[in-house]
Structure 1
Amino acid sequence: MKSYIERVIAEIPLFFSHFSQCLFRPKRFIQQQLAIAEQPDEISKGVEFLILSFLIALFISQVLPEAVNPVSLPADDAAFTHLASSALFDLFLLFFAAAIAFGCLKMVGVAGSFFAFFRLFAFFCGITMVLLVFANALTNIGMIDPVVAKSWIQLEQSAQALQPMTAQLLCNTDTSGELVADEASSDALQQQLQQAQTVYQQATERTLFLLGAGLQALIQLILACWLFIAWFAYGKQQQLSSGKIVFSALLSLTLIYAASVLLSLMQTGSQMMALYRACPAS
């Protein structure tokens, strides 16, 4: 971990140079990047920026953790391997998302290269990753209210208690796939879920929680608008009409969303297989 910290510190000046230019002048930044002669290492430059953005976002999340879903640094080799595997997996997902987006742009007449597009894609994704850490940290505002904080801790404890009960119910299925559970277990689970729902509603109706969630949503909306401005600027640089730019954006979002749903189904199936393998032999 020490080597990663040293690398982050060494690259911070260049990172902030790109960060400020891309954030405050996205149109000019895109124009400058597209004017650079095509180089064989453009993909690697994008990947390096994404990795650096991930590390900076990870370190910032330790100072400003998200209250409802904090991220912790790996404490041992197993945790580090898991974190590195997740980061590498997310990197491949971003690469495929970029490929989908560029494919949609190609359909409407873009003549640029994928390598230059991915470099820009990586810059904007990396900066978005860092800014989302600050947006997620706004959930801490709600935790100033003791009712919200204690309710959230109670919800976390309830989730841990519900895991074995849910796993037991899912293990009890017949040959047709129907759940076969005793009435006492089913009633206990239902009661726990109702209690958790009541606690959740009580917490999410508090003023400070709504304020934090509203500010978080506002930052996310601003980021979405900023990304659309960047997409529009790239399309204009490629001599596309406004209609084609909007169509390519909507098509990209639709295809990426469909791919994410498919991926979620695959991950859910893998998790269910792991759960069923842990079921006691009948």
Structure 2
Amino acid sequence: MSIAVEPSSDELRSFTSWKLDVLNAASADTRLKSGPFRVLYRVVKYMNAVTREAIVSDETLSDDLGVTRSALHDARKQLAELGWWRYRPGRYGRGTIYTILDDNVNGIENRLLDEREIRRDRRNVVRRPHSDGARNVASAPHCEPINVVDKLHCEQDDSVVERRHCDIPQCGPETTSSVVAAPPIHLDTPARRKDGSAIGRSAYTRAHARPSPSGPIVIPAGDDMALLMRLGGGSWVRGSDRLEKTGDASFRRERVKAYGLTAGEVAAIEGRGAA
């Protein structure tokens, strides 16, 4: 006849601390799902403080957890494969004997500590206040949108149209000035020279000039492709100092349809009629 040994208070405290370490590590095991963890938690509650083993029948665990025998067997097998316990099925109606293992505890605790340090380092990163960023923007060189002037000659009526842009590298090779933010030109609106006189309706000025009663004509800076598209796709190309017409009519019609020009506008642009 065996005599039950009562653990001392120190042994009980050590056992309780050990159980908490095991459960804490198991809860942080990314391989372990919630169902098997509930089974492990319930078995740990039945552990003996001296032998550190638990003897529990499947009927008791099924009733406590509200799961089927099949689910209980699957969870028990998974916990054994992941190294959280060893178990021996009981014989003659006795309960299953579970031996809890703590082989995974140190590795998981070290991982949690490393992750905590990483999060702390991220929180302690010194961030530059917004006022510093505003100060840097204020001290940057200002864009002068009209310090470079390109003069484009229009062969049809011998007029000269200016295109203005910025030459500061930070602003890009050709930055459109805010001066050109005007409503789109209509074909029946006359363009103006610097002196205020009307410019003839060449294809270039009809499509791109912006009327400015109190200042010079300003042409938007940027890729010449935008100019070609507005004139009907590939129907116009830029020469050394003028625009030349090229391409076939079908290609022009496709571009005109894509960019919303009417047939009358196309005819006016190509000099074949009025809008």
TM-score, normalisation: structure 2: 0.21
Greater helix proportion: 1
Larger Rg: 2
| TM-score (structure 1 length as normaliser) | 0.21
Q: Which has the higher strand share?
A: 2
